[in-house]
């Protein structure tokens, strides 16, 4: 729906450009041209100043409206307020870029300031336009208090107030259906009342019955007065004298609508308020940022107390001296629930192997010790332990396989050794047999002539 609307208005490309600009500003490589201005604009101090100015503007509007005569002082003061609000817009755009205007809530703030301040005070009035139009725009100035309501949520002290406001805003749909049910119930009771009271023979000629229950609309409005408990006895008691059905009917209406349905409305608002309070990321982020700044300041003071050499790093000797002699350091470690017997273990957590601990590592480690384990941290640890168990199980199975293979190799080696022993025995027998073939006397060396002579003799014998 939003995309279709943006495309219809020709703003879709601008929307994409705004998204790309926001991503660019979120990148770690982005360097803000005015970092101090951005830090000041996003601080609670700036929101508090603007909130007080809005509150003063709202009070001034009320006083000006109640005044009988027009006083130029109020117009001049309104000029000052308009200038301050325009300056606020300029500062916020300078701090967050032009994409700040692209946010729906911020655009509404811009529209409020322009429509209730800039246009009537700086355009219509110098042009001497009809005062009736200017007065109509002046009435809209009270809508600036909506900005104050939005800003209230950034202050933890107004957390309950903002929760109630958000509960009402988030319950609009539920409240709508609840009001539909109440209307249907009142309509049903109104029909019964018209038949039982307005048109009953017991109340014939009764002006009171005709006035309150003459028809269905009158009966519905009467029961609406009854469920608000607004002087309902003044209606019920005179009619009770004429019929016994009146009292039970009124009591049933109060039990069903007032004590059940209307309390259901309150329950829905409170439930949505508490749910919204738990889901308000901006408020939670603001609280965490304030708590983190306080923690960092405390941890840095502790670090300075330990760093007696003023080198910007704490050695093991300085750490052990501080935890043994400084009562303030011992008190802070007691808050962290670190026992004296755990000081050596804590140093091992702090030390990265260099023998010294820097400020950042010191603060991060102690801040982690102070914070409670989050669900995601517990789940992450559980997953890591599970993966480690799975890996150990795999290694155990692999070890069993290797042991089985080693047993097989050992059996094969034993078999080979036995066969080699048998082979060695057989070789010994062969050597003994071959030894019998070796002549005991020295062999006479034969020459070629001798061989030929012996060959001739053999040849002659054969012939």
- Tens of pLDDT along 372-403? 555 555 656 777 788 888 889 889 899 989 99
Alpha helical stretches, state H, 153-262: 159-170, 172-193, 207-213, 216-227, 232-240, 246-253
pLDDT digit string, tens, across residues 184-220 = 999 999 999 999 998 888 888 888 899 999 999 999 9
Average pLDDT of the residues of the chain: 79
Q: Which residue has the higher pLDDT, 7 or 45?
A: 45
Q: Which whole number is the average pLDDT over 98-125?
A: 83
Q: Report whether pLDDT(222) > 90.
A: yes
- pLDDT the model gives residue 34: 85
Q: H or E segment at 314?
A: strand 313-315
337 C-beta neighbours (distance < 10 Å), count: 9
pLDDT digit string, tens, across residues 259-316 = 888 888 888 777 777 776 666 655 566 666 666 566 656 766 777 777 777 777 778 8
Q: Report whether pLDDT(426) > 70.
A: yes
Query: Cα separations (Å) of 191 from 89, 185, 197, 220, 223?
Result: 57, 10, 10, 9, 11
Percent of the chain with pLDDT over 70: 76
- pLDDT the model gives residue 347: 78
Q: What count of residues does the chain have? A: 463
pLDDT digit string, tens, across residues 50-76 = 888 888 888 888 888 788 777 788 888
SS3 assignment, position 427 = helix
- What distance in Å separates the CA atoms of residue 90 and residue 283, rounded to the nearest whole number? 24
Q: Which whole number is the average pLDDT over 345-356?
A: 76
Residue 340 exposure: Cα atoms within 13 Å on the Cβ side: 9
- pLDDT the model gives residue 431: 76
- pLDDT the model gives residue 194: 92
- What distance in Å separates the CA atoms of residue 406 and residue 420, rounded to the nearest whole number? 20
CB 200 within 8 A of CB 243: yes
- pLDDT the model gives residue 8: 74
- What distance in Å separates the CA atoms of residue 190 and residue 213, rounded to the nearest whole number? 8
CB 21 within 8 A of CB 93: no
């Amino acid at each position: 729906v939003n995309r279709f609307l943006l495309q219809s208005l020709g703003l879709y490309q601008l929307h994409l450009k705004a998204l790309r600009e926001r991503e660019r500003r979120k990148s770690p490589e982005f360097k803000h041209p005015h970092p101090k201005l951005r830090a000041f604009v996003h601080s609670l101090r700036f929101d508090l100043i603007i909130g007080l100015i809005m509150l003063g503007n709202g009070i001034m509007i009320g006083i000006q409206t109640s005044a009988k005569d027009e006083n130029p002082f109020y117009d001049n003061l309104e000029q000052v307020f308009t200038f301050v609000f325009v300056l606020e817009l300029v500062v916020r755009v300078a701090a967050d870029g032009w994409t700040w205007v692209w946010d729906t809530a911020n655009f509404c703030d811009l529209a409020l300031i322009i429509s209730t301040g800039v246009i009537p005070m700086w355009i219509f009035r110098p042009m001497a336009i009809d005062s009736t139009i200017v007065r109509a725009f002046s009435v809209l100035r009270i809508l600036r208090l909506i900005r104050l309501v939005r800003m209230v949520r950034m202050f933890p002290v107004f957390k309950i107030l903002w929760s109630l406001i958000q509960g009402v805003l988030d319950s609009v749909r539920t409240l709508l259906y609840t009001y539909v049910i109440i209307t249907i119930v009142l309509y049903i009771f109104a029909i019964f009342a018209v038949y039982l009271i307005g048109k009953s023979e017991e109340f014939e000629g009764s002006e009171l019955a005709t006035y309150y229950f003459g028809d269905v609309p009158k009966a519905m409005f009467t029961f609406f007065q009854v469920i608000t408990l607004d002087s309902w006895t003044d209606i019920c008691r005179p009619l009770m004298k004429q019929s016994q059905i009146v009292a039970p009917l009124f009591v049933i209406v109060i039990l069903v609508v007032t004590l059940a349905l209307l309390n259901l409305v309150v329950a829905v608002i409170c439930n949505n308020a508490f749910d919204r309070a738990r889901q308000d990321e901006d408020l939670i982020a603001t609280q965490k940022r304030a708590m983190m700044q306080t923690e960092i300041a405390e941890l840095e003071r502790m670090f300075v107390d330990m760093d007696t050499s003023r080198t910007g790093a704490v050695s093991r000797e300085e750490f052990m001296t501080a935890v043994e002699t400084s009562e303030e350091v011992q008190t802070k470690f007691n808050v962290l629930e670190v026992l004296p017997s755990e000081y050596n273990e804590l140093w091992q957590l702090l030390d990265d192997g260099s023998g010294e601990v820097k400020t950042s590592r010191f603060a991060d480690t102690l801040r982690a010790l102070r914070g409670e384990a989050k669900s995601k941290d517990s789940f992450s640890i559980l997953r890591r332990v599970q993966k480690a168990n799975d890996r150990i199980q795999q290694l155990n199975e692999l070890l069993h396989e290797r042991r089985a293979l080693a047993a097989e190799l050992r059996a094969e080696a034993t078999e080979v050794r036995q066969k080699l022993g048998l082979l060695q025995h057989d070789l010994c027998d062969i050597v003994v047999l071959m030894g019998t073939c070796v002549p005991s006397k020295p062999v006479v060396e034969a020459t070629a002539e001798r061989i030929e002579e012996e060959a001739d003799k053999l040849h002659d014998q054969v012939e």
